[in-house]
Amino acid sequence: MRFSSWYVMFALMIAFAITGAAQTSQKPAAQPESSSSRQKKTAPTRLGADIDAGTIANGVYRNRALAMTCKIPAGWVLRTDEMNARDEGDSEPTQDKSSPQGTQRSTEGTRSGRVLLAAFSRPPEAKAADVNSSIVIAVESIETYPGLKEAAQYFGPLTEVAKAQGFTVDEDPYEIAIGAKVVVRGDFHKDVGSRVMRQSTLVFLARGYAVSITVIGGTEDEVEDLVEGVGFAVGK
């Protein structure tokens, strides 16, 4: 059984988060900055009729259509373009997709998902002894999963993906309020050598998309700090 494009996004995120988990903690050689690594103001790119990729300014990601903001810790690097490029390169024209109702075959040439933000505490190429903390915001068309009506349903295939990557579910998904917005949250962990990688994913449905905000950190406090950096505009 094959998963949706979220599988590719999530697998890339995990690969980036554990890449270079060091056998040494020596400071790596300087890495060249990619075109997406600078936290400068960016122009929005249109994804659909009523949603765009959002913008980044002063260390804050903003998406007006989703009424959402996300703080990017100082010094973090961006890899949004790279993740989308690798998603396109790894995707196949036609494939089976997992859905809450079973498996379906995708339409040839259709890309249902896209990364809006991919930020990491250090360049994925750099070696270090700790977990490469990260934030990935992705959208996927609800049409990918026929019958998907509630955000909680999205955790069916999402949990399959997490387990396939070696994560353990901490508890069943649950609702939390962030400002005036209610989202569904799921928590996972994975042993990586002597360390524990912790992941939390927030999901909500908006404008025909399932929107997922996934954060990874080496401690519960770090994950909570990243989650607290997510905000929603009141009344939107």
Q: Show the domain range for 9.
A: 5-20+37-232
Give dist(CA 59, CA 183) in Å, integer.
23
DSSP 108: T
Only one residue has tokens 């401690």, namely 219
Phi, psi dihedrals of residue 93, rounded to the nearest 5°: -60, -40
For residue range 206-216, list pLDDT tens digits in order: 999 999 999 99
The secondary element (H helix, E strand) that includes residue 157 is: helix 155-164
Give dist(CA 75, CA 18) in Å, integer.
19
Does residue 95 belong to any structural domain of this protein? yes
Domain total of the chain: 1
- What CATH number has the domain bearing residue 184? 3.40.1000.10
Alpha carbon separation from 47 to 42, 56, 139, 208, 209 (Å, rounded): 15, 16, 10, 12, 11
Does residue 129 belong to any structural domain of this protein? yes
Does residue 31 belong to any structural domain of this protein? no
Who has greater pLDDT, 129 or 191? 191
Query: Which of 168, 151, 150 is closest to 159 using CA atoms?
Result: 168
Type of residue found at 57: A
The secondary element (H helix, E strand) that includes residue 98 is: strand 96-99
| pLDDT surpasses 80 at 88 | no
Does residue 32 belong to any structural domain of this protein? no
Does residue 27 belong to any structural domain of this protein? no
Does residue 25 belong to any structural domain of this protein? no
Does residue 26 belong to any structural domain of this protein? no
pLDDT-based confidence at 6, cuts 50/70/90? low
User: Biggest alpha carbon distance in the chain?
Assistant: 50
Does residue 197 belong to any structural domain of this protein? yes
Task: State the pLDDT at residue 51.
Answer: 78
For residue range 71-87, list pLDDT tens digits in order: 999 999 999 998 888 65
| pLDDT surpasses 50 at 115 | yes
Task: State the pLDDT at residue 76.
Answer: 96
Task: State the pLDDT at residue 87.
Answer: 59
For residue range 159-189, list pLDDT tens digits in order: 888 888 889 999 999 999 998 899 999 999 9
